[in-house]
Structure 1
Amino acid sequence: MKQQTELDMTNLRVNGERLWDSLMELAQIGATPKGGVCRLTLTDLDKQGRDLVLKWAQEAGMTITIDKIGNGFMRRAGRNNALPPVVTGSHIDTQPTGGKFDGNYGVLAGLEVVRTLNDYKIETEAPIEVAFWTNEEGSRFVPVMMGSGVFAKAFTLEHAYAATDTEGKTVQGELARIGYIGEQEPGDHPIGTYFETHIEQGPVLEDNDKTIGVVQAVLGIRWFDCTVVGMEAHAGPTPMHLRKDAMQGAAEIMQEIVACALRHKPHGRGTVGMVQVYPNSRNVIPGTVKFSIDLRNHTDALVDQMADEVKAFAAEVAKRRGLEIKIEMVSSYPAQPFHADCVNAVARAAEKLGYSNMPAVSGAGHDAVYMARLAPSGMIFIPCKDGISHNEIEDAKPEHITAGCNVLLHAMLERAGLAV
């Protein structure tokens, strides 16, 4: 194949208009009246989306492999096909009120990288592959990130197959129905390096007026249920100093959760998203309050420190107010740092291409979390309007879509190498 000069490679860019058009065409499958997409995993619409993406891959000269959980791998051969491939990808299933870009952008950006390499007749040393992972969203079946999780042996294929939706339909049955149970054992597919390009799903890049987020890590998460027990009493006759008000104790702890996150900035997160009050009556002092605690930070040590601080504060509140307070962990997700080589490849590409950029973290889970357990991995973020995602009004600028794909192209080329 034609060899590119150093200058040619520096100026290499994807076809942003083609990428945008592909995103808009895929978004028509399951399009909603408000401009979003509802394409739940393993539905007929998901099959149509998968079929379209695979058709585009075949038109680009790629070969297809589907594994037993329905993950798809689209391969562009390299000069040395004995090398493990440099892989990029994401997912094409959506939330019930999803947008056009979440997940879909990562898959089609990978396809555009391949199309661009074809346009310029560039041969890489290692193969390049684009993956789509089954049921990343988890909106129809749980667990979330199912396809990549099975691939990484985080849970078994049998466990995933047995998952049911609200109608009792199983993952195995629906995969078979739409024709996407492949022959390859999940995890048997080699991966040398993995990149994932994604909208940020938050407001940080937009707030800082940066085009590229060089993702350092995915935040660790600890979920707890907190139960505060006091004593119900009449709101009128009971003086303030004689109350055992569960709501007031809970409110103190809720404020401490926010304060704790602010103490552990810039990546500390503290959220109370669910509250249940008993007996929930206008003129009764609450006797029991149960609420959720969501703590996040970029290292497990910091998340655990935040949890310890909240628990210590709750113990002090319990003693001072005469309440019984119990905090129980319900879920724990470890922080996942990305490989320095991949992080640096993304940063170098952004700088070389002249895009404003900044270090970033992901507060949400992605398939790259599981891939990072198996191979050097990295992520590229671009801004989304007002930081909104998992919403039909999710939006991104065409120039940002193009920029993220250009960074992906150059990062992948650095890792795959040019054939010599």
Structure 2
Amino acid sequence: MKIGIIGLGTVGEGVLKVLSTERSNIFEKSTADIEVKYACDLNINREFSFDFDRSVLIDDYKVIINDPEIDVVVELIGGETIAKNIIIEAFRAKKNVVTANKALVAKHGVELFRIAKENQVSFLFEAAVGGGIPIITPLMESLVANTITEIRGIMNGTSNYILTKMKIDKLSFNEALSNASAKGYAETDPSYDIDGIDAGHKINILASLAYGGSIKFKDMQLSGIREINTIDIFAANQLNCTIKLIAHSKLLSESSVQISVEPTLVPNLEILSKVDDVYNAIETIGSYTGETLFYGKGAGMDPTASAVVADIVKITTGTHIKSDYFFNSTKVFNAVDINTIKGSYYIRVSSDFDIEKSPFKIYNEIDNYYIILANDISRNDINEYIKNSQEKLILKMMK
């Protein structure tokens, strides 16, 4: 099978490296004989860290789209505009597509799968969630007998690295972010990572796949880790908890789901509390399996390239389930307002807060802040009680 790779950034270069150096090994394991006929990038004269036939390099993606010998287009340029157009062009040229583009799948999956179905081609995206962690394939194939009712996990390596450094090395948020940037874990604009957007794309995809209907990304509620400071890390440790950015979804009924991304106090007895550095971990709860955990590196050139190549092999060998996943469904789930759901919360307010006029009791006083623990209450009610506090932070507590 002949393929064309569009985009030779971190992941694209990794895919080209794997398919150039492991072609015979992949064939021996799977009988998939994959030839990279084209690798497209705007800068084809740059250096690469491995040897390959440079005659495959081109700078015009339309060569790939228009070549009748190309069976699979591998879209790895990212973004939501040009990438979307390229994928649609590939579908209409009767070519299968593999992508790692989580934002595109989360926001435009319904449309893209409709066009793929119309043209009778496959659209696979294992690498869009969890990097090198196999999660989409197990969810749709290995766990097919189950009704998945809940998914939660750590789905962004950058934010997890920052929180890990804040806890272990006692760094401030800004110091930990600078550290992440220096190591190449954080982008120049880290908003997608630290504001929960990247994790939001991933939990949207997984929940929609698991529950059998789409969830509109714009209806999700996302919170990041910008407001977490060393006081919160210290207080969580006193509570025998660790703060993690948790992406969570729960099937509530045939038409509604709970879905969010928010920093959460995770008890140290929970496995998720021990997932550190840039690692990811995703838990699913199935009707027959119960809890199942998927753990590994959630990003990076090699792990993500591994997932992309796995999808190419599936198409080459015809071993993937011939379904449109959830995107062939007209079913759209309603995302309930998580602010109305009662639960347990950690609250940090500045010491100007009039605790006597509230229903809360102080758990601890650290520097110029009160730490409050509240149970069986909604975030809306908490906000009403603390609205006059000069500074405030509300974090969910996992039970």
- Superposed pair shares fold, TM > 0.5: no
Bigger strand share: 2
Under a length normalisation based on structure 2, what TM-score does the superposition of the two structures give? 0.26
Under a length normalisation based on structure 1, what TM-score does the superposition of the two structures give? 0.25
